[in-house]
Amino acid sequence: MNKKLIRIEGLAVLVLGTYLYFSNGYNWAVFLLLLMLPDLSMIGYAFSKKTGAHTYNFAHTFVTPLLLLLAGLIFSVDFLMMIGFIWMVHIGMDRMMGYGLKYETDFKDTHIQRL
């Protein structure tokens, strides 16, 4: 049940983030170009499992994109809003597909599989 709930939450974030991005008139090309950018954080696994888990988790938690959205809203900076929405959509997409935050033991060990 908990895994299904996380996937449903991920779908909701994906749909809402995509809707808000495009309802603000932001560019499709930028969306598609940057959508998979957070996955570059997997490069950390080239150094060690611990480094990989930390870099991946930093790029796949909601804190940073929410801060970007907040800053973009407060200071009226569309670029920050665009990046925040794209980042949120990416995380939602990952959660919907069952990818979770990583443990240091192995790339395949995630918080979703241990629920």
Could you report the per-residue pLDDT of 51-104, keeping only the tens digit for each? 999 999 999 999 999 999 999 999 999 999 999 999 999 999 999 999 999 999
- Domain membership of residue 16 (yes or no) is yes
Beta bridge partners of 65: none
- Domain membership of residue 90 (yes or no) is yes
Beta bridge partners of 38: none
pLDDT-based confidence at 106, cuts 50/70/90?
Answer: confident
Q: Work out the number of other CB atoms within 10 angstroms of the CB of residue 13.
A: 21
Residue 61: which of 110, 3, 114 has the closest Cα? 110
Residue 1 pLDDT greater than 70, yes or no: no
Expressed as residue numbers, the domain containing 96 is 2-110
- Domain membership of residue 31 (yes or no) is yes
- Domain membership of residue 115 (yes or no) is no
Q: Is the dihedral of CA 93, 84, 63, 38 positive or negative?
A: positive
pTM of the model: 0.93
First to last CA, the chain: 9
Residue 115 pLDDT greater than 50, yes or no: no
Count of the separate structural domains present in the chain: 1
Using DSSP's 3-state secondary structure scheme, residue 103 falls into: strand
